[in-house]
């Protein structure tokens, strides 16, 4: 048995069935001139986690474990974007409008792409979602079942919206989830902290949280045990 030191108690790694989920690490959310900045947000909060997410990504690649990249985006004709979503808010730019990196949250546009530092590699799964949760109107559940995934290490942005929604959806499907504390971020740090506390309240009601260092240590131990098993 390999345990990761986590909150609210240790998280047990499976012998098999572990995957990495990276949520919405897109140019429009993390780069200057993108949609996030256009809404008045400080993107530096999100940028801070990039090296940590990259380290986890490289580790999962070295272990040849399944990796799932999630992208929020819509069809060019916006047929999968409810009008309530497009009209929400008071910003100057809305979904489908032309921004500094192409049309906002439209699949295939430059700003909708994953940041270069975390570009998916061949063989990694890329799932586009039209909503907040990664299971809503996507094939993610099918892919996880096909890969035999029972446990997910979760990273990405923003903590209180797409990350938390996806983690709750995964929990409802019986998947044991651990959110990496320093590999997730919000434009509002207080919202992030509140989300971390909500997730692991009441004995991990939604899941666990841990630092990247704790996760990486657990993975090293896990690898060593499998190697010498």
Catalytic residues: 24, 129, 162
Q: What is the Cα–Cα distance from 50 to 17, expressed in whole angstroms?
A: 25
Phi, psi of 128 (to 5 degrees): -95, 140
Return the H-helix or E-strand segment holding 68. Answer: strand 67-72
Q: What is the Cα–Cα distance from 102 to 159, expressed in whole angstroms?
A: 25
Q: What is the Cα–Cα distance from 193 to 189, expressed in whole angstroms?
A: 6
Q: Which pair of structure tokens corresponds to residue 196?
A: 């971390």
Q: What is the Cα–Cα distance from 76 to 151, expressed in whole angstroms?
A: 34
Q: What is the Cα–Cα distance from 203 to 63, expressed in whole angstroms?
A: 30
Contact by Cβ (8 Å): 36, 30: yes
Contact by Cβ (8 Å): 122, 146: no
């Amino acid at each position: 048995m390999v345990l990761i030191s986590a909150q609210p108690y240790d998280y047990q790694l499976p012998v098999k069935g572990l995957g990495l989920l990276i949520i919405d690490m897109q140019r429009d959310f993390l780069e200057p001139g993108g949609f996030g900045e256009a809404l008045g947000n400080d993107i530096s909060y999100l940028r801070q986690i990039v090296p940590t997410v990259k380290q986890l990504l490289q580790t999962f690649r070295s272990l040849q474990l399944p990796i799932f990249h999630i992208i929020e985006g819509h069809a060019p004709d916006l047929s999968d974007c409810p009008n309530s979503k497009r009209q929400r808010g008071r910003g100057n730019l809305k979904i489908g409008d032309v921004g500094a990196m192409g049309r906002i949250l439209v699949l295939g546009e430059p700003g909708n792409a994953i940041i270069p530092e975390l570009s998916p590699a061949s063989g990694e799964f890329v799932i586009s979602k039209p909503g907040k949760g990664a299971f809503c109107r996507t094939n993610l559940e099918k892919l996880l079942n096909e890969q035999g995934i029972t446990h997910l290490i979760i990273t990405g942005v923003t903590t209180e919206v797409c990350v938390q929604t996806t983690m709750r959806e995964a929990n409802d499907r019986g998947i044991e989830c651990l959110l990496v504390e320093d590999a997730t971020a919000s434009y509002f740090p207080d919202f992030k902290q509140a989300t971390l506390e909500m997730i692991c309240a009441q004995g991990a009601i939604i899941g666990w949280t841990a630092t990247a260092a704790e996760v990486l240590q657990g993975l090293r131990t896990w690898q060593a045990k499998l190697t010498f098993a």
